[in-house]
Chains A and B, each alone.
Chain A
Amino acid sequence: MSKIEPTSTRFVIEPLSQFDLSTHSRTTTVRSIAITSLSNPTILYVGTNSGTLFSLSADTNDSNTSQNGTVPSDSASFLHKLSFIRSVSVSDSPVDAVLVLADLGKVLLLSDGSLFLVDSELSNRAFRLGFSKGVAVVTRRKMRNNESEGLGFDMNNQNHRFLQKLGGLIVKDGETQSGACVLALAIGRKLVIVELVLGSGKSGKSDKDFNNGSLVVLKEIQCVDGVVSTMVWIDDSIFVGTVNGYSLISCVSGQSSVIFSLPDVSRPPRLKLLHREWRVLLLVDNVGVIVDVQGQPVGGSLVFRHGLQSVGELSFYVVVVSDGKIELYNKKNGVCAQVLPFGGEGIGPCVVASEEDKSGKIVAVATATKVVCYQKLPSVEQIKDLLRKKNYKGAICLVEELESEGEMSKDLLSFIHAQVGFLLLFDLHFEEAVDHFLLSDTMQPSEIFPFIMRDPNRWSLLVPRNRYWGLHPPPAPLEDVVDDGLMTIQRASFLRKAGVETIVDNDLFLNPPNRADLLESAIKNISRYLEASREKKLTQSVSEGVDTLLMYLYRALNRTEDMERLASSTNCCVVEELEHMLEESGHLRTLAFLYASKGMSSKAVSIWRILARNYSSSLWKDPALDNIIQDSGENLISGKAIAAEASKILEESSDQDLILQHLGWIADISQVLAVEVLTSDKREIQLSPDEVVTSIDPQKVEILQRYLQWLIEHQDCFDTQLHTLYALSLAKSAIEAFEFENISENLASGNTERKNLATLRNSIFQTPVRERLQIFLQSSDLYDPEEVLDLIEGSELWLEKAILYRRLGQETLVLQILALKLEDSEAAEQYCAEIGRADAYMQLLEMYLDPQDGKDPMFTAAVRLLHNHGESLDPLQVLEKLSPDMPLQLASETLLRMFRARVHHHRQGQIVHSLSRAVDIDARLSRLDERSRHVQINDESLCDSCNARLGTKLFAMYPDDTVVCYKCYRRQGESVSVSGRNFKEDILIKPGWLVSR
């Protein structure tokens, strides 16, 4: 930690102005110094060894020279002079300490163990405050608002009052507010807490002009540890240092606790309040320990490399002076950020003073005869300086520190990231450059455009003329950036050989990269930036630029996959900018995707068609024997993929001509895709079925069938012509399939069987055509059955014929086909049941018994029929129909079955009859039960309807147990009771009446 790390060397401060005491007085030397910025301009108070105090003005108004970004120089020779304002004599002894009471307009001085008060203009004589004698240290209480109360651990009332009275200088949000001036004085082993009360002047004059005042003792605290030689008081904690060590004394309880003791032989203790963090720095040797208000250590120790004579604070640094050098150490990580000499070594004791303020900007150091003022460079200047030295890491480090301290606005942070990015870009560190670009919220993607496309172009006017801090050259195409960068490295290497130091990246210098690699890295990373930019909200024209140029970059690296992904996703590419380029470079797929995504369907599909043609021709051209199978497989897949892309476009298109124009080649590659194109429900305007039907290749029957099926089943098409067409087409296919099957069956050879299987597999339908035909013929009634019949008349499609005849009501023909041709007696019986007349069964029986055409009678079927439906057949008629040649055994069985069926039928009827009777008897019984119920009537009984006393009168009771007099009964009738219940409509059933059998 003891060496300056290159990334941490900064220019935090620069010399501002100086003052040479020897020009004013030959005899005296500087003893103490204080600085205040509450007044404007900033004023320095310098106490001398000869007992005087003088003030200097650090007027910064005319010292703006270094604000303009010139590198601060280490020499102080051109510095402005601090202007001397006034001096006042204090005592004969050295002025040991100067305390500026800015809120009171006073300065408190410690000299010769006594306290003196002087007005801040030094216009009056210093006033010696009575009482004090032997004071070694004086410190003022500082409080951070609202924080003192919570700390009073076991405060009794008295203490609380004391604490309230105590008050102090309240520091709130970095601003000092006026409060009571409470001081702690160290007198030997004793701490005396006093309040400074200013005396009032004579009438008419303000306090300011008089330096009188008095000290009121509030409390005395005995300090056991030793003689106090340094002290800091924040909130309720008084930190004191003695030769033995550091202690913390609570001003509330007076209790003291050791923070740590000092090694036996060591430098005198020294304390420094760190306003910014509200912590205290405790020094031991050249080590600084930072503790919080409770005395607990926070963070690691600071190690001051060269020891120290005096310590101050500026922003996040501790400022130490020693040996004619001023050094800044980062409070957080202990890193030494800057070293500035201000006088040669051996210059003697020096002191440093810093503003007692969180946002101090000035520190002053004094040697015996010289005072030098330093001002903090604005953060921006510090960063610029680091960037100029190409210390990007250091700059970012500082930026991050500033950000974590809340001292950097988001916009500035973004600005700096962009600036660093551009610098890195020109230094050929493309990856890091883009990393920084991506961290910038304010950078416009269009700022990158000139690096990709030469000006002027479509987007030239969009590019903001943001030159940042002007630290990098104006944008140029990446090739130029790379060439220039390489040239710079080359030149630097010459210079280096000649012994001239240059600030060129060592890494690049040692391993000069090759141009191609650099260019590739540049393009890759800029693509990454554009990719990320796509996620942002951009104006239309910028989005167009981003996407178009991204395509350019992808193409430059031939990243086909990315190109196609970009082209096929939603994008803002400008087609005219890319069309030509993509065609030239043969990225036809990308172009097709692009056309499609831009809604230029016809162009897109045309390209797909060309691609498909190319694929298929390459298939023919390349008959390399070994690869042929593999190749053809691949090409086939590719061809399908191409057709799929085209069909995807066509599925959404409503342009009928376009669709029908391309249907052919797509169908050649894949019938399924062609069908998908035709049956898509994604298009807005449906195709005209007639035109589609006529334009489908007559060879591709399945496409037609699929299309018609879709129209009929999914689009609820009621066009009888189309229904008929569908039926005819199916029938034709069915006949063909039937014949084909027959042939292959006849041949019964393995070869044809395989072929048969193959044709079956090639079909785009899953169910065989006959099944489809039968289902359709049965389900639709919009086709013309006769036309279909005409077609299949001569064929073997008997079931289909049966369906059609049934449609035409030709019962006999239907039965004939079912019963005799197909011998499907079940279907035949079913059909009879459909017809629903007994004579149908009879007709069927007749057919079974006399099939004609020389066929043998189908006795089994006949017997079955009689068994199932014998009861509906007239036995006489049956007997008549029985053929004389029927074998007796069969005939008897037939008749027996018929009779048995009839007897069975009869018996069944009897059983049902008896069961009904039983129920009837049960019901009667219940009725009787109900009627024979006894009802008890007494004198009190009333009619439920007219409330008349029943007495001995005739009365009636309803099933719901209501009782009425006879008169009312006549009026109401039997079926409606008093409650209004109508027993005819709303039947009442009592549990006992239920037939339980």
Chain B
Amino acid sequence: MATIGHNNLNAKLVLLGDMGAGKSSLVLRFVKGQFLEFQESTIGAAFFSQTLAVNDATVKFEIWDTAGQERYHSLAPMYYRGAAAAIIVYDITSTDSFSRAKKWVQELQKQGNPNMVMAFAGNKCDLEDKRKVTAEDLSTGKMIGNAKESRGLYYLDNGLDFKDQQKTYSGATISNENHSDQILDLNNNEGPPEMPQHNDSYKETQSGFTTIDPT
């Protein structure tokens, strides 16, 4: 849960998604700015923390990177319980990972903290030529639950054609549709690990992760 004190926020952030979707790589990129070609598979869960300056507040992310293996599925609730935000990661080259991701959204909507901010992230955008998850998939993805429930769900995937796109940084786009669907580039191979702090549009997306109720 995000807690506030002296402009310092503590936010618990959990990463969920199929094994190999790139959760650990994403976190590693965010926290240490590294990318490993052969990222070892996570067992149990890994813990990281990273502090970010957003406007004049600092947000300390407590990040739980869970294992994607089905075997450890039952451990996940322990990690997403009380989380302020969840990033559900899928691999755009794998429809399996996409359906797994949809299941995570459903589970979170059913069991998770109702105020949790969810981000739906399509990873490995550098493999665009092998893309299997299409815009249509994603629009059916949006049909998950009823409209009300899908509020606060952020879509992060670039390369897909959305209307009303706004260019932000290095290929990232933000769609204005409903003001809640955001599409971010999540390519681990390039781009700055920490997006430039002076970029206002970035701050906007960042604050999205920490907002308790985005509606």
In the complex, the answer to whether A301 meets B71 with C-beta atoms within 8 Å is no
Q: Is the CB of A284 within 8 A of B47?
A: no
B108 neighbours in A (Cβ, 8 Å): none
B44 to A, closest residue via Cβ: A301
Shortest CB–CB separation between residue B50 and chain A, in angstroms? 14
* Bound complex: CA A287 to CA B64 (Å): 16
- A303 to B44, alpha carbons, bound, how many Å? 8
Residue ranges of B at the interface with A (Cβ–Cβ < 8 Å): 40, 43-47, 64, 71-72, 74-75, 77-79, 82
Closest 9 CB pairs of A and B: A301-B44, A300-B47, A287-B44, A300-B46, A261-B74, A260-B78, A260-B75, A303-B43, A263-B71
A sample of 7 more A-B contacts (CB under 8 A), given A258-B77, A295-B78, A301-B45, is A260-B75, A262-B74, A263-B74, A287-B72, A297-B45, A303-B43, A303-B44
- Do B75 and A300 touch across chains, with their CB atoms under 8 A apart? no
Cβ–Cβ contact B79 & A297, under 8 A:
yes
7 A-B pairs in the complex with CB atoms less than 8 angstroms apart: A261-B74, A289-B78, A297-B45, A299-B47, A300-B46, A300-B47, A302-B44
A421 at the interface (CB under 8 A from B): no
B72→A263 contact, CB < 8 A: yes
Contacts of A287 in B (CB 8 A): 43-44, 72
Tell yes or no: A259 within 8 A of B by CB: yes
A301 and B77 in contact (CB under 8 A), knowing A1-B40, A263-B71, A263-B72?
A: no
- The reply to whether A259 and B47 form a contact with Cβ atoms under 8 Å apart is no
| Chain A residues positioned under 8 Å from B45 (CB to CB) | 289, 297, 300-301
Q: If the complex has contacts A245-B74, A261-B74, A263-B74, are A297 and B43 also in contact, measured as CB distance less than 8 A?
A: no
The residues of A that contact B47 with a CB separation of less than 8 Å are 297-300
Chain A residues within an 8 Å CB radius of B79: 297
**Given A297-B64, A297-B79, A260 contacting B74 (CB threshold 8 A):** yes
Give the residue of B40, B43, B82 whose beta carbon is less than 8 angstroms from that of A301. B43
Interface 1/0s, chain A 227-263, versus B by CB < 8 A? 0000000000000000001000000000000111111
Alpha-carbon separation in the docked complex, A295 to B81 (Å):
11
In whole angstroms, what is the CA distance A262 to B72 when docked? 8
Question: Given contacts A297-B64, A297-B79, are A289 and B44 in contact (CB under 8 A)?
Answer: yes
Contacts of B82 in A (CB 8 A): 296
Complex Cα spacing A1 to B43, Å: 10
CA distance A258 to B75 in the complex (A): 10
CB closest residue in chain A, given B12? A296
B residues less than 8 Å from A301 (CB atoms): 43-46
Counting residue pairs across A and B whose Cβ atoms lie within 8 Å, the total is 47
Residues on B with C-beta less than 8 A from A291 are: 78
Q: Nearest Cβ in chain A — how far from B26, in angstroms? A: 16
Looking at B43, B44, B74, B79, which has the most chain A CB atoms within 10 Å of its CB?
B44
Chain B residue contacts of A1, Cβ below 8 A: 40
Nearest chain-B residue to A295 (Cβ)?
Answer: B78
**Does A289 lie within 8 Å of B75, measured CB to CB?**
yes
Find residues 288-314 in chain A having any chain B CB closer than 8 Å to their own CB: 288-289, 291, 295-303
Cα distance, A2 to B42, chains bound together (Å): 11
Most buried by B among A291, A296, A300, A303: A300
Distance (Å) between the CB of B15 and the closest chain A CB? 13
- Chain A interfacial positions (CB closer than 8 Å to B): 1-2, 245, 258-263, 284-285, 287-289, 291, 295-303
- Distance in angstroms from A697 CB to nearest chain B CB is 66
Chain B residues in 8 Å Cβ range of A263: 71-72, 74
How far is it, in angstroms, between the C-alpha of A298 and the C-alpha of B44 when the chains are bound? 12
B residues in contact with A258, CB < 8 Å: 77
Name the residue on A nearest B65 (C-beta). Answer: A300
A301 to B40, CA, bound (A): 14
Q: Is the CB of B40 within 8 A of A300?
A: no
* Cα distance, A284 to B67, chains bound together (Å): 13
Q: Which residue of B lies closest to A287 (CB)?
A: B44
Residue among A1, A258, A260, A296 facing the most chain B CB atoms (10 A cut-off): A260
Rounded to whole angstroms, the CA-CA distance of A190 and B85 in the bound complex is 38
Q: Complex: how many Å from CA A777 to CA B15?
A: 94
Within the complex, the shortest CB–CB distance from B22 to chain A, in Å, comes to 18
For B46, the closest partner residue in chain A by CB is A300
Give every chain B residue within 8 A of A2 (Cβ-Cβ). 40
Q: How far is it, in angstroms, between the C-alpha of A288 and the C-alpha of B43 when the chains are bound?
A: 10
Return the chain B residue nearest A257 by Cβ.
B81
Contact of B78 among A262, A297, A302 (CB under 8 A): A297
CB distance from A565 to the nearest CB of B (A): 39
A200 and B43 CA atoms in complex are apart in Å by 53
Query: What is the minimal beta-carbon distance from B56 to any residue of chain A, in angstroms?
Result: 30
Chain B residues positioned under 8 Å from A300 (CB to CB): 44-47
**Residues of chain B with a CB closer than 8 A to A284's CB:** 44, 72, 75
The distance in angstroms between the C-alpha atoms of A663 and B72, with both chains bound, is 91
How far is it, in angstroms, between the C-alpha of A874 and the C-alpha of B75 when the chains are bound? 126
> Please, which residue of chain B has its CB at the minimum distance from the CB of A289?
B44
Smallest CB gap from A1: residue in B: B40
A249 smallest CB distance to B (angstroms): 16
Min CB distance B35 to A, Å, is 18
With a cutoff of 8 Å between Cβ atoms, the chain B residues found around residue A296 in the complex are 82
In the assembly, what is the distance between CA of A846 and CA of B121, in Å? Answer: 113
A462-B200 Cα distance, complex, nearest whole Å: 61
Report the bound CA distance from A585 to B53 in whole Å.
56
A656 to B75 CA separation, bound complex (whole angstroms): 91
Docked Cα-Cα span, A263 to B77, in Å, equals: 13
The interface residues of chain A lying within 8 Å CB-to-CB of B64 are 297
CA distance A261 to B78 in the complex (A): 10
Determine the distance from Cα of A298 to Cα of B43 in the docked complex, in whole angstroms.
Answer: 15
In whole angstroms, what is the CA distance A287 to B75 when docked? 11
In the complex, A92 Cα to B196 Cα: how many Å? 72
State A115–B40 Cα separation when bound (angstroms): 47
* A300 CA / B28 CA spacing, docked (Å): 14
The residue of chain A having its C-beta at the shortest distance from the C-beta of B75 within the complex is A260
In the complex the two chains form, what is the Cα distance from A258 to B47 in whole Å?
Answer: 21
Give, as a whole number of angstroms, the nearest-CB distance from B32 to chain A.
Answer: 14
Q: Chain A's nearest CB lies how many Å from the CB of B184?
A: 26
A86 to B46 CA separation, bound complex (whole angstroms): 47
A330 to chain B, nearest CB (A): 14
Q: Which of A263, A285, A291, A302 has the most chain B CB within a 10 Å cutoff?
A: A263
Q: Give Cα distance in the complex from A287 to B45, angstroms.
A: 10
Cα distance A288–B45 in the bound complex, in angstroms: 10
CA of A284 to CA of B75, assembled, Å: 10
User: How far apart are the CA atoms of A300 and B40 in the complex, in Å?
Assistant: 15
- How far, in angstroms, from A263 to B64 measured CA to CA in the complex? 20
Instruction: Report how far A291 CA is from B79 CA in the complex, Å.
Output: 11
A553 smallest CB distance to B (angstroms): 39
Closest B residue to A301 by beta carbon equals B44
* Whole-angstrom CA separation of A285 from B82 in the bound complex: 25
CB distance from B114 to the nearest CB of A (A): 18
Complex Cα gap A302–B47 (Å): 11
* Bound form: Cα–Cα A2–B40 in Å: 10
Closest Cβ of chain B to A243, distance in Å, is: 13
Q: Cα distance A258–B40 when bound, in Å?
A: 29
A297 and B81 CA atoms in complex are apart in Å by 10
Chain A residues within an 8 Å CB radius of B43: 287, 301, 303
Q: A13 to nearest B CB, angstroms?
A: 25
Instruction: Check A260 against B46 for contact (C-beta < 8 Å).
Output: no
Q: How close is A281's CB to chain B, nearest CB, in angstroms?
A: 12
Q: A285 — which chain B residues lie within 8 A by C-beta? A: 71
Shortest Cβ distance from B70 into A: residue: A263
Q: How far is the CB of B61 from chain A (nearest CB, A)?
A: 15
Give A260 to B45 CA distance when docked, in angstroms. 13
Task: Kindly provide the distance from the CB of B167 to the nearest chain A CB, expressed in whole angstroms.
Answer: 37
Docked CA distance A140–B82 (Å): 31
- Rounded to whole Å, the gap between the CB of B122 and the closest CB of chain A is 26
Of the candidates A260, A298, A299, A303, which one forms a contact with B77 in the assembled complex, judged by CB atoms under 8 Å apart?
Answer: A260
Complex CA distance for A301 and B77, rounded to whole angstroms? 15
Alpha-carbon separation in the docked complex, A259 to B74 (Å): 10
A682 to B125, CA, bound (A): 75
List, in ascending order, chain A residues with CB within 8 A of B77's CB. 258, 260
- In whole Å, how far is A284's beta carbon from the nearest beta carbon of chain B? 7
The listed residue with most A CB atoms (<10 A of its CB), out of B43, B45, B79, is B43
The smallest beta-carbon distance between B23 and chain A, in angstroms, is 13
